[in-house]
Amino acid sequence: MKVLLIAVVAALAYILAYRTYGRWLGAKLFQLSASRVCPSVYKSDGRDFVPTSREVLFGHHFASIAGTGPIVGPAIAVLWGWVPALLWIVFGSIFIGAVHDMGALVISIRNDGRTVGDIAGRLINKRARILFLAMVFLALAIFLAVLGLVMASVFRMFPRAIFPCLVQIPLAIGIGCWLHRSGRRIFPASVLALVLMYLSVMFGDWGPLHEFNTMLSLWPVWAWVLVLLAYSYVASVLPVWVLLQPRDYINSLQLITLCVLLVLGLIFAVSGNRELVMLAPAFNLHPAGAPPFLPFLFITVACGAVSGFHNIVSSGSTSKQLSAEPDTLPIGYGGMLSEGFLAVIVLLACGAGIGLGMAGKDGVMLYGGAAWEATYSSWGSMSGLGPCVSAFVHGSGNFLGALGFADSYSVALMGLFVASFAGTSMDTACRLQRYVVEELSHAMFGSSTEPLDESLPKRKPAWSMIGRFLESRHGATLFAVLTAGALAMVPAPGKDWGWDSVGTGGLILWPLFGVTNQLVVGLAFLVLVAYLLERGKPVWMVILPCALMLILPLWAIVWQVFIGGSGGKPWIDGSNIPLAVIGVLVIFLECWIIAESWLVIRRMFGKNGKVTRP
């Protein structure tokens, strides 16, 4: 009963937060108005700037920000205890993550759909723009480089999910064209998408399809990396309504229906007198071999509470499709709360669901505490993607089993769930990296036409050819794909060159991603503080989150470089010199941006405490 109560209380907390704090932010702080024209309307180009219905855009936004983050993070963090993980997920998403996502979306739609990093140039200065965009570029390059490995790993663990995941692409294109060109209602498309998606899971491993899935599951990582980066290139340059929007919408429908089924499974498991109890410890702040609880809980659980990737999505993609300002509340604030609830379900699946039954290494079924101990035997046992995904898939599959779903179907369905969201994050990240490259080119080389704002010079002739290439749709996308591919094609640390190791290079810089991702949150809050001060608005609701999300990532990266690092040995001592060098650079860049921002924000207060523009 306690497990079900946790889910119910979390859901009620999110509903209450949306109807009170979220509405207050929209009405009083940001003053959302339907009379303001959004960039998707006055800059409509049928490709990137496309006015989109709230339902479809919510699906695109939600699927893009979710990915595997709210699965992996809570699956690991439960080792520190389910109570601190739950509190960070619920309160972090309500008071930090949702404010961050909504604020980034508002700032962007009121600045021509530009990213928060680019807007930093107007609100702070040109140096802040370049530093912010450089930090975002690094984070997205790491993210793109490692997602091919993620997809390959998921497909190897759950081959039956391959065909349903691939069939979503033509299904999405068909639905996207049907809706865009015929103007038909979304409800029939939703029903059709759901039916076809579930049928593809049910029949996607029959006969020849089984051989097809098995063959692709054996592909080497480098092959998946090349194929997925090529797919991401195409998805990035196509009009957003052709593939990105409908595929994300299908995945969001899948997620929503699965969340409903998982909650129903919780209810049936409890009412059926099954032994559904929290097996994870309530508190375990010092698990053996783990990094310190502070600050790493707040780095490990990112997407379920707050994530820098979200402001990149909000200001890079969603703002270009928002058709009316009031939609910012359900999409920006509501989207983050929805992801927070997903993280709660993941926490319960890993902390309690696996106790309903999980096969051990020898194939013998384990139940209760034995299943938990076999899965979470140590911190090191959960250090990779495979154990985290496996714990969630089998725990949530047990919830579906309480509804009468066959084990094989439940596992395939949850495997598809993980693979689909990794895929949507990859194609969205590639499109976002394209925007970042374009804006970074503007900031560094100047503009070949009109400057984006007064801080950007006209381009010097020597840089004209480079600038034109990087500001073109295909040029920026090609640069994004090639940089991520070059990083991915290097073997992972400790591996020799070989066909089995090529494609794992994203793991080289992966230890930096969590810190860099959360650092982008703090930097986005700095821009939000400047934006609110410029308009004479209160900033009390963003000052503390801003400080927290600047201090925690800085604390974490200093610990990794100089104190703990890998296996208790700091990077600077020789355990990983390349990471140490980049880590020191990140520390320097953060301190530089904070200093630049503080000087500008302090001037905004002016004399006698009155806010003035710099």
Domains in the chain (CATH in brackets) are 2-609 (1.20.1740.10)
Provide mean pLDDT across the span 50-70: 89
Mean pLDDT of 409-418: 85
pLDDT at 21 over 90: yes
Judge contact between 109 and 39, C-beta under 8 A. yes
Q: What average pLDDT score do residues 274-297 get?
A: 89
pLDDT category, 94, cuts 50, 70, 90? very high
Distances, alpha carbon 484 to alpha carbons 147, 148, 221, 472, in Å = 10, 10, 14, 18
Task: Say what the pLDDT of residue 149 is.
Answer: 84
Q: Which pair of tokens denotes residue 353?
A: 């669901």
Residue 448, pLDDT score: 46
What is the pLDDT at residue 613? 47
Asked if residue 130 has pLDDT above 60, the reply is yes
Mean per-residue pLDDT, 232-243: 92
Structure confidence at residue 460 as a pLDDT band (50, 70, 90) = low
Residue 450 has a pLDDT of: 44
- Res 445 pLDDT > 80: no
The predicted pLDDT at position 462 comes to 53
- pLDDT of 104 higher than 90: yes
Dihedral (Cα; 261, 267, 272, 278), 10-degree rounding: 110
**Residue 214 pLDDT:** 93
Please report, rounded to a whole number, the percentage of residues in the chain having pLDDT higher than 90.
47
Q: Given a cut of 60, is residue 165 above it in pLDDT? A: yes
Per-residue pLDDT at 207: 85
Structure-token pair, residue 45: 């180009």
pLDDT at residue 141 is higher than 70? yes
Is the pLDDT higher at 407 or at 86?
A: 86
Instruction: Provide the pLDDT for residue 280.
Output: 93
Please report which confidence band the pLDDT of residue 496 belongs to, taking 50, 70 and 90 as the band edges.
Answer: confident
pLDDT of 606: 62
Residue 527: closest CA among 508, 549, 500: 549
Cβ atoms of 368 and 323 within 8 Å: the answer is no
Do the Cβ atoms of 109 and 325 come closer than 8 Å?
A: yes
**Residue 414: what pLDDT?**
85
Contact 416, 164 (CB under 8 A): yes
Q: Does 125 or 214 have the greater pLDDT score?
A: 214
**For residue 122, what pLDDT band results from cuts at 50, 70 and 90?**
confident
* pLDDT (0 to 100) of residue 458: 55
pLDDT band at 575 (very low <50, low <70, confident <90, very high): low
With cut-offs at 50, 70 and 90, classify the pLDDT of residue 608: very low
Instruction: Check if the beta carbon of residue 528 is closer than 8 Å to that of residue 121.
Output: no
Q: Give the SS3 label for residue 397.
A: helix
Across residues 474-489, what is the average pLDDT? Answer: 93
Specify the range with the lowest mean pLDDT, choosing from 81-90, 113-122, 569-578: 569-578
What per-residue confidence (pLDDT) applies to 457?
53
